[in-house]
């Protein structure tokens, strides 16, 4: 009997020399794991991937394509293969895009099909799998999950040089008239590799959505050198800085919590000594109470106006209510 590949179909197992009863026996013993109907992998491989959800997801994708085919890996499944952030959290469902809807309403457990055109320029391969390009993946996520989610993925992709602003502009032009293309255009227009975390990207998406004057991202306020200081968001004209406080900012593996917090306190004092008012917010506020963030920015802007005579940063949304 030939050695079985990592993934094997039922017919492939028979071709390798196993009998029908031997296949059933290995499944009952747990030596073969059924990944999809008619697609198996060894227990050893399955267990080895148990500690990495992305590898396990890749295995699921391969199994789905072996049993169904005719589609491209897309949306969160495509982002997972590229090790890009998943704004809505981990989704175990395999998402595929195919250009033609199949007849009938067949359901495939654990698989989500999207139906949309897949021009040749939007196709690529990754690890031997048919995948939509990073630019198309980013903009599809924006179309289905909104501009904030799309910007989180787009910023990370640009920062890692997985796509370019020109790629995004080209693909978004191809999507004219598609559902959700307005959000895709927002992402194409505002994506930037200068933002360094999903929270920063989600914060910037809020500023865009609420019509706020847009800040510089991670701009240096002193010389760009050791000992220099910068802020997540800088509104220079308004003498206002914004700091998106994600947990990662305080996760220093070489220090206890108190010294890290003390360093951040000293950093804020340096920012204020440069003649700025600092505003801070958390990820929970951005996602659950964005009005509180906007109100705090308006209040801190009033303080900067009183202290330095800076013009007010007045969110347009306050006038529209």
Residue 319 is predicted with a pLDDT of 41
Is residue 29 located within the same domain as residue 140?
no
On the CB side of 242, how many CA atoms lie within 13 Å of its CA?
31
Only one residue has tokens 């109907």, namely 37
Is residue 137 located within the same domain as residue 234?
no
Output helix, strand, coil percentages for the chain, rounded to the nearest 5. 50, 15, 35
Average pLDDT across each block of 10 residues of the chain; the chain has 321 residues. List them in order: 77 88 91 90 88 90 89 96 91 90 69 95 96 98 97 98 98 97 98 96 97 94 72 95 68 42 62 87 94 95 95 64 40
Instruction: Please state the φ and ψ torsions of residue 197, each to the nearest 5 degrees.
Output: -155, 155
Number of domain units in the chain:
3
Is residue 53 located within the same domain as residue 36?
no
What pairs with residue 125 in β-bridges?
130
Strand pairing of 240-245 and 277-282? parallel
Residue 93 is predicted with a pLDDT of 93
Q: How far is CA 245 from the centre of its chain?
A: 18
Residue 235 is predicted with a pLDDT of 97
Residue 202 is predicted with a pLDDT of 97
Give the residue from 158, 190, 222 where a domain finishes: 190
Parent domain of 12: 1-48
Question: Do residues 138 and 154 make contact, with C-beta atoms less than 8 angstroms apart?
Answer: yes
> 169-177 long-range CB contacts below 8 Å, 24 or more apart?
170/121, 170/135, 171/121, 171/122, 171/133, 171/135, 171/136, 171/139, 172/139, 174/119, 174/121, 174/122, 175/139, 175/143
Is residue 2 located within the same domain as residue 58?
no
The CATH number of the domain holding residue 273 is 3.40.960
Is residue 176 located within the same domain as residue 205?
no
Residue 320 is predicted with a pLDDT of 39
């Amino acid at each position: 009997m030939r050695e079985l590949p990592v993934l094997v179909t039922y017919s492939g197992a028979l071709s390798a020399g196993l009998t029908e009863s031997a296949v059933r026996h290995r499944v009952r013993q747990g030596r073969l794991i059924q990944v999809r109907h008619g697609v198996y992998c060894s227990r050893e491989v399955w267990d080895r991937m148990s500690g990495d959800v992305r590898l396990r997801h890749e295995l699921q994708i391969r199994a789905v394509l072996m049993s169904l085919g005719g589609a491209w890996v897309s949306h969160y499944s495509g982002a997972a293969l590229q090790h890009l952030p998943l704004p809505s959290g981990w989704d175990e469902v395999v998402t595929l895009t195919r250009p033609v809807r199949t007849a009938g309403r067949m359901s495939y457990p654990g698989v989500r099909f999207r139906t949309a055109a897949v021009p040749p320029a939007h196709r690529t391969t990754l690890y031997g799998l048919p995948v939509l390009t990073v630019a198309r993946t980013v903009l599809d996520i924006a179309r289905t999950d909104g501009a904030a989610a799309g910007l989180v993925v787009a910023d990370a992709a640009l920062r890692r040089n997985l796509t370019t602003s020109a790629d995004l502009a080209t693909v978004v032009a191809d999507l004219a008239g598609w559902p959700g293309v307005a959000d895709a255009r927002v992402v194409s227009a505002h994506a930037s590799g200068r933002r360094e975390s999903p929270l920063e990207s989600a914060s910037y998406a809020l500023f865009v959505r609420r019509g706020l004057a847009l800040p510089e991202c991670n701009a240096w306020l002193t010389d760009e050198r050791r000992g220099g200081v910068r802020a997540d968001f800088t509104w220079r004209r308004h003498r206002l800085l914004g700091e998106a406080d994600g947990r990662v900012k305080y996760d220093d593996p070489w220090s206890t919590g108190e010294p890290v917090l003390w360093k951040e306190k000293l950093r804020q004092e340096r920012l204020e000594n440069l003649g700025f008012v600092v505003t801070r917010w958390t990820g929970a506020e951005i996602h659950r109470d964005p009005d509180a963030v906007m109100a705090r920015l308006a209040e801190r802007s009033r303080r900067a106006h009183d202290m330095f005579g800076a013009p007010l940063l007045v969110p347009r949304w306050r006038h529209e209510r």
